[in-house]
């Protein structure tokens, strides 16, 4: 069974509706470790040794965060800058993360239509996440499509619950299925994968 590490970053969780729900649904899953970065490092002093140890103990990594200003909250950047050391994560001899899977699980206030519509000539979310994708590549990891919750400002409680259940189901699916042979790159977001899988199972 694959072990999953959720690197969760939210500077104001007490104000969050979506992420609080997401966390509640995954926190009790077996084999899933939630690493609450803003609670762990309120002064941004990331414990590099601890983080590297956690990464090595898990097979699938998730950056879970709100999609602030087309990117992640600041502590995620700090985490990447400090933890992914040269010679450890990348470069000569930097093979600690080789063949691990990683993806972003994000929430966005904008609707799905706000991104990537040809008419408006806007970049897609996947394009915005290019720095994460390239970071993963440099560390010899497999970067998966993101899990996205769109239009969070207008979501009802029920809709949010449905998203959270899907998220938990996705993580469990990843735990039980071997990812290496699967070609996930063709799908826009992991939400789609999940719905097609549920269809299959039915």
Q: Which stretches of the chain bind other proteins, using CB under 8 A?
A: 11-16, 38-39, 42-43, 109, 151-154
Q: What's the min distance (Å) between Cβ of 43 and other proteins? A: 6
Q: Which residues of 52-66 are buried (b: 16+ CB within 10 A; e: fewer)?
A: bebbeebbbbbbbbb
Q: What's the min distance (Å) between Cβ of 75 and other proteins? A: 8
User: What is the C-alpha separation between 189 and 36, in angstroms, rounded?
Assistant: 24
Q: What's the min distance (Å) between Cβ of 27 and other proteins? A: 15
**Between 2 and 114, CB nearer to other proteins:** 114
**Between 21 and 100, CB nearer to other proteins:** 21
Q: What's the min distance (Å) between Cβ of 190 and other proteins? A: 24
**Between 15 and 30, CB nearer to other proteins:** 15
User: What is the C-alpha separation between 181 and 177, in angstroms, rounded?
Assistant: 10
Both tokens assigned to 106 = 């994000």
What's 150's DSSP letter?
A: -
**Between 38 and 90, CB nearer to other proteins:** 38
Nearest to 170 by CA among 142, 148, 193, 145: 193
First vs last Cα of the chain: how many Å apart?
23
């Amino acid at each position: 069974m694959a072990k999953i590490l959720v690197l969760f970053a939210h500077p104001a969780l007490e104000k969050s509706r979506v992420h609080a729900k997401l966390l509640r649904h995954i926190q009790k899953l077996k084999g899933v470790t939630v690493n609450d970065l803003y609670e762990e490092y309120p002064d941004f002093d990331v414990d590099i040794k601890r983080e590297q140890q956690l990464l090595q103990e898990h097979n699938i990594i998730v950056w879970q965060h709100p999609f602030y200003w087309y990117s992640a909250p600041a502590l995620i950047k700090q985490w990447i800058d400090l933890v992914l050391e040269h010679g450890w994560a990348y470069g000569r001899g930097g093979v600690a993360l080789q063949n691990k899977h990683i993806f972003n699980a994000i929430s966005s206030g904008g609707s799905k239509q706000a991104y990537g519509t040809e008419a408006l000539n806007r970049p897609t979310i996947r394009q915005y996440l290019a720095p994460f994708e390239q970071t993963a590549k440099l560390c010899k990891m497999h970067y998966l499509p993101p899990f996205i919750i769109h239009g969070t400002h207008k979501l009802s409680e029920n809709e949010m619950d449905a998203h959270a259940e899907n998220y938990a189901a996705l993580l469990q699916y990843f735990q039980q299925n071997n990812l290496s042979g699967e070609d996930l790159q063709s799908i826009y977001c992991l939400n789609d994968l999940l719905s097609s899988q549920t269809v299959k199972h039915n």
